[in-house]
Every structure is written in structure tokens, then in C-alpha cells.
Structure 1
Amino acid sequence: MTSPESHTLSVPGAELAYDVRPGTGGGVPLFLLGSPMSAAGFVSLAAHFTDRTVITYDPRGVERSKRTDGAAESHPEEHAEDIRAVIEAVGAETVDVFASSGGAVNTLALVARHPALARTVVAHEPPLAEVLPDRDVALRVFADMGETYRREGFGAGMAKFIAAAVHQGPFPADWTDGPAPDPAAFGLPTQDDGTRDDALLGQNLRNSTGYRPDFAALRAASTRLVIAAGRESERELPARGALGVAERLGIAPTMFPSHHGGFLGGEFGQEGEPAEFAKALRAVLDGDS
């Protein structure tokens, strides 16, 4: 696989780091992105697209991309403008995008604002509480884990996040009334180190999960939108978010192999089915599925 060419880009409030892997063929570049997942999470998936120029980046406040504005939180519209800036810096007139999790949320914001920049977007499991039938409870669940993080620190907040992320189906109305999960049960620290700058719990959780997509703009966009969920995770919140978005757009969801991290091949200690996932993604991008 071609080694990535790393670059930096100054945008309002941040210095962004992005990578370009030149492809052996022509055609439209492929942008692989997540949030708060960094470029490092897409190494396995990128290896299956050596015929295309592949773009990856670290979202603002994540790993190499440093915030310069001192802000405590990021917003999907802000991320959308960062994505736009990277596309323009690469010199691409348009790109195909595979966007996962919070990255899918941010890319929906990009399409609503700049549809000409994205030819096809595969939005994989956007964790949007706003489109769920149990919206009000889900928003309380996210608010509670954010408050727990701000009050007790990373371990306590992340334990609540993991418990919610793997929950199957709608949240019961009394979800936040139950006993808090033990961080040690998930291998998380039980002591508060005093920091509150975690990219997930601190910077992105509230605004990403609470984002309200502009569905009128998305329906009117020239971009081909594919809303994707994992076959193994379809009852978990991020996949339920995908199903809710697809319903609002009046399109059928596309089911992908594996789970929320199905494209991972050992990155961050997580294993999906990257070869099968890449095969499914290529078929979608080629219009065969």
C-alpha cells in the first residue's frame, strides 16, 4: 500500500492534519472519516482501495489536529467546514465519502451545506438521538453520561457510554435511574485524573448526538446518499440512528457486514471484517448495491 502523504491545514480555530494516499487509478477520490475516530482508524479499510486516491484526517481536537480557539466543544457544522476545507486543499472537485459514527453526522451536515463536494456519501451508523422513537429518553441518557463525565471524570462517563452503546433496542424510561456501571468492569480507570478534554465525552458527545439534520436540504441535494447500518449491530443506538435517518429520507437502509466498527482490522484493539466490509463498500460506491 502506498504510504500516506501527511499535510497540515490551518482553519478557523484549529490546525488540521490530513493524509493522502495516491491511488494507482484515476477517478473520484475516496474520503474515509470518523469522529472522534482519527485517521489511524482507517488504515485497514484504506488498504482495500489502492486504486483510488484515499483521504483521511484527524478531526479537530483529535490526535494531530489541535484546537487553537480554546473551545471546549465542537459542532457538526464546524466539522463540516473542516471537511470542506480538506477536500478543497486536496484539489478535488468532488469526492466519495465513507463516514462512520460521529463522522457520519458531520458528513450529513456537509451535504446539507455543500452538496456539490460529495458525489456519493455512505453514512454509517450516525448516533443521532433526534431520529429515534425513544428520542426524549435517549437525549436524557446522553445528557446523563455527559454530566457524569464532567462531575466524575473519564472512567465513570465512559462506563455509561459503553453500557448505552451496546444496549439493544429502545431505552427504558427509567434507564438513568438505575445503578451506575462500574468502570472497572470495562477495564476503565476508577480514579478521576481531573482532565475534561476527552474528544468523545468532552468535545463531541452532546452536539453530535443531539444534532438535527436538515432533511429538506438532504433530500434536495445532488449527492447520492447511502445510509448504512451493521448487520450485527442493527438494534444498537448508532445503527438505530441510521435506520431513523433512512426513514426520514424515504430511502431503504443498506446493511453492511459486521458491527459499528466493522471496517476495523485491529486498530484500537478492535476487530471487524474489513475485507468483507470493503467489498460491500466498493459495491455501493460502484452502484452495484
Structure 2
Amino acid sequence: MPSLDVPGATLHYEVFGTGPLLLCISGADGRGSVFHGVAEAASDRFTVVCWDRRGYSKSLLHGPQELQYRLETDADDAQRLISHLSSEMAYVFGTSSGAIVTLTLLARHPEVVKSAIVHEPPAFTVLPDDLRGSAAGFIHHIYDTYRAWGPDAAIEVFTSGFSDSAEAEIMQSCISSDKGDEIRANSLWWFEFELRQYTSATIDMDSMKAVAEKIIPAIGRTSSGLGTAPTSVIGDEVRRAVLQIPRGHVHYMISPDSLAGVFIEYFK
């Protein structure tokens, strides 16, 4: 399996197809394998790269980590992968907390990104004060539930706002502690080091406006609730129409062919 040594980690990644580079950045449990279906569906038009973000699954850590800068490090890792695999700019699809990584990548390394679909980033600091407070309270409730009752109880709270029960079940299975050691380790890493930090990260809107032409904000047609609100705010701020894509928050696992069609239509 291909890997890339970077400062403090070895990044595991997989490559599908040929064509312009398309990097997929996952949320929640951090595994690149959640994109295998859409990678295969898009492989006749793109070189699709699926990677385990550092600390997840096969992307191993080496030595001390600056955990307070995990978000910036994820963005730098994305830049390193793109530069390692291509001399050209890449297309990027980032979802959930992976969409926050994508926004940070655009702020720190815009020169490596041609265009990016930013799907439902829970970037709650961009919200008005009242909604920001509600969102922060919900995140802390999830974390407190995790500490008191464990990850399975917490993920049920996390998915309680999903309008699609099939999506909620898939999301729960991705972080369920009874799915084996890899998933258990991923879920603990996410609850401890990502859930609160990424959702409370400051998004540099001036930097976003400077690269507005690269940003395609996106929400799922069946998505609802606080999780979709930051996408609308970001779209308004950078004056970009919000793209509606099939299904909801984990549509790439339910309808990979339709998302591949979105890539073909919007990544030109």
C-alpha cells in the first residue's frame, strides 16, 4: 500500500483511476476507505486519492504531536499529498470535519487547489451568536455524553438530528465501538482530539473571500439542522451559490455513483 512520510507521521493513501487529481478528505472516523465507492465510480475521469488522516487507521504517528494544531497539520498533510502526487493543482472534496480541513487547506495552501467542494462543514464559529451558542452547547453535550457513557451513546446523540434514518445508521456504524479495534481507536481519537477543536476553529473569511472562485459550498438535499447552517453562511460570505447534492451527510456511502456525477459536472 502506498504511503508518504511527513513530519511526525506516515500517511496511508490509496489511488483509483487516471486523470486530474481529486483528493477526498473524510470527516468523523478519518478513514479514506469510506470513499472507495465514489472513487471507483469516478475513476474513469479522475485520479481519486483516498487517505487516512494522521492518527486514524493506517496513518501512524511518530513522536510528539502538537495536538493543539491538529487542524492546521491536517491541512498541511493534504498539501503534502497533493504535491507528492502531482505537479498540477488538485480538485478536493471535503465533507463534515474534512470540509473544515478543506477550508483550512484553502487558507494555507490555495496554490495546490484548483476547485473544492466543501460539503457541510460544522464550522460553527461563522454562525450568528445565538446559533453559535446553541451549536457549542450541542457539541459539549455530545462530548459529555461520550465521557459519561462512552462513544456509542455519544454517537446516538450526534446523529439524532439526521433526517434520514438510513444515514444515521451508517454514521453510527462508522464510529461504533463494536466494529473492531480500528474503528474503536478511530472513534476515541475523534471524540478526544477533533470533535471540539474542529467545530470551534476560527475560519479566516478574508482568506476565503480571496479564493472564492475555488469554493463550491454544498449541502445534501435531505440534510437539515444546525449542521447545514455554516454552509449557507460561508456561501453568502464568499458570494457563491450553495450546491445541493444527492441525499444527505453521508451520501457518498449511499449513492456513490450520483456523487461521481457531481464531480464530473462541477470539476472542470
Q: Shared fold (TM-score greater than 0.5)?
A: yes
User: Are 1:166 and 2:158 matched, yes or no?
Assistant: no
Post-superposition shift, 1:76?
Answer: 1.7
User: Are 1:198 and 2:188 matched, yes or no?
Assistant: yes
Letter in 1 for 2:245: F
The counterpart of 2:204, out of the listed 201, 214, 224, is: 214
User: Are 1:148 and 2:145 matched, yes or no?
Assistant: yes
Gaps of 5+ in 2: 165-171, 179-183
Other-structure match for 1:60: 54
CA distance in 2, matches of 1:195, 1:89: 28
SS at match of 1:63: coil
User: Are 1:132 and 2:114 matched, yes or no?
Assistant: no
Change over 3 Å in CA distance of 1:247–1:201 after alignment to 2: same
Change over 3 Å in CA distance of 1:196–1:125 after alignment to 2: closer
Letter in 1 for 2:240: I
Other-structure match for 1:77: 72
Letter in 1 for 2:132: R
Letter in 1 for 2:255: E
The counterpart of 1:255, out of the listed 244, 256, 260, is: 244
Post-superposition shift, 1:40?
Answer: 0.6
* Aligned partners of 2:212 and 2:238 also within 8 Å: no
**Which has a greater percent of helix?**
2
User: Are 1:284 and 2:266 matched, yes or no?
Assistant: yes
* Aligned partners of 1:150 and 1:196 also within 8 Å: no
Other-structure match for 1:101: 96
* Aligned partners of 1:122 and 1:228 also within 8 Å: yes
CA distance in 2, matches of 1:17, 1:112: 24
Question: Per chain length, whose mean CA-contact separation is higher, i.e. which structure has more relative contact order (CA < 8 Å, sep 6+)?
Answer: 2
Post-superposition shift, 1:22?
Answer: 4.0
Length-normalised TM-score, structure 2: 0.83
CA distance in 1, matches of 2:218, 2:123: 13
CA distance in 1, matches of 2:151, 2:257: 33
CA RMSD in angstroms comes to 2.7
- Encode CA deviations 1:95-118: one digit per residue, 9 max, x unaligned: 011111111100100000111100
User: Are 1:9 and 2:9 matched, yes or no?
Assistant: no
* Aligned partners of 1:18 and 1:55 also within 8 Å: yes
The counterpart of 1:117, out of the listed 109, 112, 115, is: 112
Post-superposition shift, 1:203?
Answer: 2.3
Post-superposition shift, 1:261?
Answer: 1.0
Identical pairs, percent = 26
Letter in 1 for 2:30: M
Letter in 1 for 2:141: D
Length-normalised TM-score, structure 1: 0.78
CA distance in 2, matches of 1:196, 1:275: 27
* Aligned partners of 1:238 and 1:260 also within 8 Å: no
* Aligned partners of 1:118 and 1:223 also within 8 Å: no
Letter in 1 for 2:111: A
Question: For structure 1, which segment, 48-57 or 62-71, has the greater mean C-alpha deviation from structure 2 after superposition?
Answer: 62-71
Larger Rg: 1
Other-structure match for 1:88: 83
* Aligned partners of 2:30 and 2:186 also within 8 Å: no
CA distance in 1, matches of 2:266, 2:16: 21
Post-superposition shift, 1:162?
Answer: 2.0
* Aligned partners of 2:90 and 2:112 also within 8 Å: yes
* Aligned partners of 2:151 and 2:187 also within 8 Å: no
The runs of at least 4 consecutive aligned structure 1 residues that moved more than 6 Å come to 186-190, 194-197
SS at match of 1:19: strand
SS at match of 1:93: coil
